[in-house]
């Protein structure tokens, strides 16, 4: 099966991986035709569900935090005008994962998701935490970060990415950047009305990224647009063209004088929820090493609570009194540990399904 020997990759171990080991594992994924699913988390509970699923699948996994999700992690009542709560939440989430991941026996990347230009103070705060951790431990706090400057002109997008990448490279942080636009709505960025032709990158676009970033470090991935849309949609309603990624690979391979099947790019698949299996398989074949999953796991988490409520509705109408009698206590049903656990179990199942979809299986 794809990637069955992933534990032999140098530096791979239980816990958070960074630097050379993290990049080598991504290279292993690309070479062996699988990808690492990345799950947006907003609480320690959702982080634990991802880790539990990874432990049961015995596969590497990625936990990522968006700016809004990070603010929620820290607490919605905290001030966030300067993104201080978002910085605190992302850093807290990263430390939580570092504290518990090894106990699960899981190899995990910790990543920050979608940082638009207006959110750069959040990015700066996370980099400051990376530097502080690096000075103490010889590695950054996070494994990787994403800059999503796809709303800006390509030249500005790439220039800002290069500026930050120069700061990240000495710590061997992986940079994920986006060229082209992913449709739909994600963490407050609304691209639902973007013209359809903007949802497809061109070979020249990705080559410009390579020219700017590869002299700094090889450790970067590209979320190139091939019709991707964030959010929920019926399978087949979004016209993905993962074969475009293959065209981008061939274009760069020719520029570099490499064989046509060299696949020098490391690609990321955004808007993966609702995708048809054939499109996922085609994306893997064309160099996708990471796919984001959020909408589907949100639903799975909620469905665990919904099903629990439906099964125990009579016991969830008051502290006392149910179908067994008016004096029967209901504490064991409304205890958050009971219904949140059902949410986690449901989410674990969806995380494992994503691993299968991405051939991230033993």
198 domain residue, yes or no: yes
319 domain residue, yes or no: no
311 domain residue, yes or no: no
Q: State pLDDT tens for residues 67-120.
A: 999 999 999 999 999 999 999 999 999 999 999 999 999 999 999 999 999 999
230 domain residue, yes or no: yes
Q: Per the structure block, which two tokens stand in for 326?
A: 């008016």
- 3-state SS string for 260-296: CCCCCCCEEECCCCCCCHHHHHHHHHCCEEEEEECHH
Q: What is the pLDDT of residue 272?
A: 62
Domain count, the chain: 1
Residue spans of alpha helices (H) in the chain: 19-32, 44-57, 67-74, 84-104, 120-137, 154-168, 203-213, 243-256, 277-285, 295-311, 331-334, 336-357
Arithmetic mean of pLDDT over the chain = 92
Residue 16 per-residue DSSP state? E
Average pLDDT over residues 281-295: 95
Mean pLDDT is lowest, of 96-110, 227-241, 334-348, for 227-241
- H/E stretch holding 186 reads strand 184-186
Cα(171)–Cα(190) distance, rounded to whole angstroms? 33
CATH number at residue 239: 3.20.20.70
176 domain residue, yes or no: yes
- CB atoms under 10 Å from CB of 160, counted, come to 17
Q: Output 196 or 265, whichever has higher pLDDT.
A: 265
- pLDDT at residue 198 greater than cutoff 90: no
343 domain residue, yes or no: no
Cα dihedral 125, 15, 284, 361 sign = negative
Following DSSP, what letter does each residue of 60-116 receive, concatenated?
-EEEEE-HHHHHHHH-TTS--TTSHHHHHHHHHHHHHHHHHHHHHT-EEEEEE----
Q: Per the structure block, which two tokens stand in for 106?
A: 């899981």
Q: State pLDDT tens for residues 246-283.
A: 999 999 999 999 999 999 999 999 876 667 888 899 99
Catalytic residue numbers read: 113
- pLDDT at residue 50 greater than cutoff 50: yes
Nearest in space to 180 (alpha carbons), one of 211, 158, 210 = 158
Confidence label for 233 from pLDDT (cuts 50, 70 and 90): very low
331 domain residue, yes or no: no
Cα dihedral 15, 19, 21, 25 sign = positive
322 domain residue, yes or no: no
Asked whether the beta carbons of 265 and 206 are under 8 A apart, the reply is yes
pTM, entire model:
0.92
3-state secondary structure of 204: helix
- CB atoms under 10 Å from CB of 196, counted, come to 9
Cα(315)–Cα(313) distance, rounded to whole angstroms? 5
Report the first-to-last Cα separation within the chain, whole angstroms.
6
Residue spans of alpha helices (H) in 169-214: 203-213
Cα(201)–Cα(221) distance, rounded to whole angstroms? 15
Give the list of residues 6+ apart from residue 191 with CB closer than 8 angstroms, or none. Answer: 181, 182, 183, 184, 185, 230
- Residue 22 lies in domain: 6-305+348-358
């Amino acid at each position: 099966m794809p990637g069955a020997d992933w534990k032999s990759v140098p530096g791979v171990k239980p816990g958070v991986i960074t630097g050379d080991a993290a990049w080598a594992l991504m290279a292993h994924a690309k070479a062996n035709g699988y990808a690492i699913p990345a799950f947006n988390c907003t609480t320690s509970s959702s982080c634990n569900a991802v880790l539990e699923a990874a432990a049961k699948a015995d596969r590497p996994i990625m936990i990522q935090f968006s700016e809004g999700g990070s603010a929620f992690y820290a607490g919605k009542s905290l001030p966030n005008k300067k993104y201080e709560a978002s910085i605190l939440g992302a850093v807290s989430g990263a430390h939580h994962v570092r504290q518990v991941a090894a106990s699960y026996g899981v190899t995990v990347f910790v990543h920050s998701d979608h940082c638009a230009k207006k959110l750069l103070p959040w990015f700066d705060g996370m980099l400051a935490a990376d530097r502080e951790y690096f000075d103490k431990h010889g590695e950054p706090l996070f494994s990787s970060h994403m800059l999503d400057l796809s709303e800006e002109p390509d030249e500005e997008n790439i220039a800002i990415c290069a500026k930050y990448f120069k700061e990240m490279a000495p710590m061997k942080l992986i940079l994920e950047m986006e060229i082209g636009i992913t449709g739909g709505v994600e963490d407050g960025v609304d691209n639902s009305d973007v013209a359809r032709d903007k949802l497809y990158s061109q070979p020249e676009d990705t080559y410009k990224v390579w020219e700017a970033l590869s002299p700094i470090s090889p450790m970067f991935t590209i979320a190139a647009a091939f019709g991707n849309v964030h959010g929920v949609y019926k399978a087949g309603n979004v016209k993905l063209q993962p074969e475009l990624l293959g065209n981008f690979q061939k274009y760069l391979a020719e520029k570099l004088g490499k064989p046509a099947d060299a696949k020098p790019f490391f690609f990321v698949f955004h808007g993966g929820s609702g995708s048809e299996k054939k499109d996922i398989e085609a994306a893997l074949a064309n160099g996708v090493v990471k796919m984001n999953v959020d909408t589907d796991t949100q639903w799975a988490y909620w469905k665990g609570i919904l099903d629990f409520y439906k099964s125990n509705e009579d016991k969830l109408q008051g502290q006392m009194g149910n179908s067994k009698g008016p004096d029967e206590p209901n504490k064991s049903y409304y205890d958050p540990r009971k219904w949140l656990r059902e949410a986690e179990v449901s989410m674990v199942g969806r995380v494992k399904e994503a691993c299968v979809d991405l051939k991230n299986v033993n």
